[in-house]
Amino acid sequence: MKAFGRLLTLIFVALLALQLYFAGRIALMRQVDPESTAFERSEAWQVARSTGALKWRQQWVPYAQISSHLKRAVIASEDAGFILHEGIDMDALEKAWEKNAQAEERAAQSIGRLAESRPGLPPPKPPKIVGGSTITQQLAKNLFLSGERTLLRKGQELLLTVMLETLLSKQRILEIYLNHVEWGDGVFGAEAAAQHYFRKPASRLSVVEAARLAVMLPRPKYFETRLGSGYLAARARTIAARMGGVDAP
């Protein structure tokens, strides 16, 4: 029992040390711009392994040099309550949970009907999972965590979200997010995205251009190859219409 107790103590101390490390890194971000994120490094490593080349386009720009249209478009598209909540939007999480449960139920019914009518066919693709994550949660995951979906990783994401909201301002959180979020294959940050898609700096993005970039965020690599899709254009118009009612920090 003593050995078991010592093991639990060591685990607790290790977890506490890890949280203090994360808190120190985040506190440093008040003044120091992070050069890269765990997600970016993982993506670059995977590309380098498969192609033998480093594919990474990114350029940090200060908050003031990012178009206000893009700030409002991203908030309108990804996290309408960004200014109001404290990092976790419980209403969005509940809605995401309900949508995922309904999608899984429909998928199970579809699989059952197919199995009865056409046995031997491969099962349909699993339903798309809706996340409900806020901008702060997305930043927490991208900065420090892997892409695996486990309860332990989700718990760590929530702790990091609280640290980000406690130690950084909303403006700083959005600034770091916009400079590191993925906008295509090897394209990271607002400046790289603006240059890649519109051949202009992020400071000069129009309402329409900003809305199109915001719509790409959930699936940037997918939309990068479908820039002329009707869905992208229609969704961008919806986001552009919502931007007037959104404030950026």
What is the distance between the alpha carbons of residues 124 and 73, in angstroms, rounded to a whole number?
34
Instruction: Provide the pLDDT for residue 127.
Output: 44
Residue type, 92: A
pLDDT at 92: 60
What's the pLDDT at 28?
97
Q: Is the dihedral of CA 185, 187, 190, 191 positive or negative?
A: negative
The CATH number covering residue 217 comes to 1.10.3810.10
* Distance from C-alpha of 167 to C-alpha of 6, rounded to nearest angstrom: 33
Give, in degrees to the nearest 5, the angle at Cα 68 between 88 and 134: 10
Residues 217 and 246 placed together within one structural domain of the fold: yes
pLDDT of residue 194: 97
pLDDT in tens, the chain (249 residues): 778 788 888 998 999 999 999 999 999 999 999 999 999 999 888 878 887 777 889 999 999 999 999 999 999 999 999 999 988 876 766 665 565 545 455 555 555 565 566 665 555 555 444 456 899 999 999 999 977 778 888 889 999 999 999 999 999 999 999 999 999 999 999 999 999 999 999 999 999 999 999 999 999 999 999 999 999 999 999 999 999 999 999
Same domain, 121 and 193: no
Contact indicator for 202, 56 with CB cutoff of 8 Å: no
Question: Is 150 inside a domain boundary?
Answer: no
58 in a domain, yes or no? Answer: yes
pLDDT at 98: 60
Residue 156 lies in a domain: no
User: What pLDDT shows up at residue 161?
Assistant: 96
Q: According to the model, what pLDDT value does residue 129 have? A: 46
Q: How many CB atoms lie within 10 A of CB 135?
A: 25
Domain-located, residue 69: yes
Q: Which domain holds residue 57?
A: 39-83+169-249
Same domain, 104 and 201: no
pLDDT of amino acid 118 = 62
The confidence score (pLDDT) of residue 114 equals 56
DSSP state of 182: E
**pLDDT confidence of residue 130:** 44
Domain assignment present for residue 179? The answer is: yes
Claim to verify: residue 77 and residue 193 sit in the same structural domain: yes
Q: Is residue 24 part of a domain?
A: no
- Evaluate whether residue 145 is within a structural domain: no
Q: Name the residue type at position 78.
A: E
Task: Specify whether 77 is located in the same domain as 184.
Answer: yes
Q: Look at residue 113 in the predicted model and tell me its pLDDT.
A: 60
Structural domains of the chain, count? 2
pLDDT at 8: 87
Residue 188 lies in a domain: yes
Residues 197, 79, single domain; the answer is yes
